[in-house]
Amino acid sequence: MIDMNTKYEKLIKILESEIPFKPEIGLILGSGLGDFAEKTKIIKTFATNELPDYPQSTVEGHKGYIHFAELNDKKLLIYQGRIHPYEGYSIAECVLPVFIAHRLGVKKIILTNAAGGLNHLQPADLMLITSMNTFNIKKELAQLIGLATTEMRQRFFDFPSAKINSIIQSAALKEQVLLKEGVYWYSSGPSYETPAEIRMTQKLGGDAVGMSTVHEAVYASALGMEVGAISCITNYAAGISPNKLNHQEVMETAELVKEKFEKLIKKIIELF
């Protein structure tokens, strides 16, 4: 079992001594969605490359900043950039943002990502995640969390939170943002899927496919946080459209949905 408290003791000590306030709400911004941070009142920013033992994101669109920010009197901890297993990092490293949030007192966390769409999902849709698969990472997560107590074991799959999801649905209604719903299917990457893999995913019940979020969601819920997650559909999954996928397309579509994404997140935070 990995002891995160020991592994990141130095990092937590630095943050604890320098943070401007104790954050209530955590927000991880996915590929191309980082600009939301600029819509808030940023009080203090840490560059992750200046924090000891913080893994560096190598993906375009992931800036590597941690902001302490305010919005409608709510105190936020915002991650502009995330770390993915496909970059070669362990699950313990990839859940570090969630661990930090937990240590600093965050009780609610919103995870966002870019994903490929299947079934009823199309590029530029926003999708509320109603469930996820954890096949590939369950064992690694269990080793990390240790599942030491019955309570932790019970919380292991208590995500997404029904309460948070109903707040997200109300926010979408109030802002008149069309929010589709579906199952997020984790794919380990590093490459996009093959058309055959997407046909299999469709049969297994996935509506959107992506390479992040699932480990963060499981870990956060095991630590007792309420978790909600939203995908920005940036492209048709492989084989659904004849075009070859690329990261540029993901970034361009994320730019297109920026406005409705920001409107939705602002409202969710207001309703929390």
**Cβ nearer to ligand HPA, comparing 40 with 234:** 234
Catalytic residue among 57, 87, 172, 226: 87
| Structural tokens at position 12 | 């937590």
Q: Is 235 a catalytic residue?
A: yes
Report how many residues bind ligand HPA under the rule CB under 6 A: 14
| Structural tokens at position 55 | 């893994």
Which stretch in 75-83, 91-99, 143-151, 203-211 sits in contact with ligand HPA by CB under 6 A? Answer: 203-211
Q: Which of these, 23, 16, 46, lies nearest to 272 by C-alpha position? A: 23
Distance CA 230, CA 165 (A): 10
Residues 6+ apart with CB under 8 A from 131: 160, 183, 184
Distances (CA, A) of 93 to 53, 103, 160, 260, 266: 9, 15, 22, 31, 29
Distance CA 263, CA 206 (A): 26
For ligand HPA, the binding residue among 211, 220, 222, 225 (CB under 6 A) is 211
Instruction: Report in angstroms how near the CB of residue 231 gets to ligand HPA at its nearest.
Output: 9
Instruction: Report in angstroms how near the CB of residue 117 gets to ligand HPA at its nearest.
Output: 8
Instruction: Report in angstroms how near the CB of residue 197 gets to ligand HPA at its nearest.
Output: 9
**Cβ nearer to ligand HPA, comparing 141 with 237:** 237
Q: Is 4 a catalytic residue?
A: no
Q: Which of these, 263, 266, 261, 267, lies nearest to 30 by C-alpha position? A: 261
Q: Where are the alpha helices (DSSP H) in 70-134?
A: 91-94, 96-103
Which stretch in 36-44, 158-166, 199-207, 233-241 sits in contact with ligand HPA by CB under 6 A? Answer: 233-241
Using left for φ > 0, alpha for ψ between -120 and 50, and beta otherwise, residue 32 falls in left
Instruction: Report in angstroms how near the CB of residue 95 gets to ligand HPA at its nearest.
Output: 19
Which stretch in 20-28, 74-82, 135-143, 185-193 sits in contact with ligand HPA by CB under 6 A? Answer: 185-193
Q: Is 247 a catalytic residue?
A: yes
Distance CA 241, CA 65 (A): 34
Catalytic residue among 175, 247, 251, 270: 247
Q: 57-96 mask for ligand HPA (x: CB under 6 A)?
A: ----------------------------------------
For ligand HPA, the binding residue among 87, 93, 125, 193 (CB under 6 A) is 193
Residues 6+ apart with CB under 8 A from 270: 71, 72, 74, 171
Residues lying near ligand HPA in the complex (CB under 6 A) are found at 114-116, 187, 192-193, 209-211, 234-235, 237, 245, 250
**What positions carry a catalytic annotation?**
31, 62, 84, 86-87, 114, 211-212, 235, 247
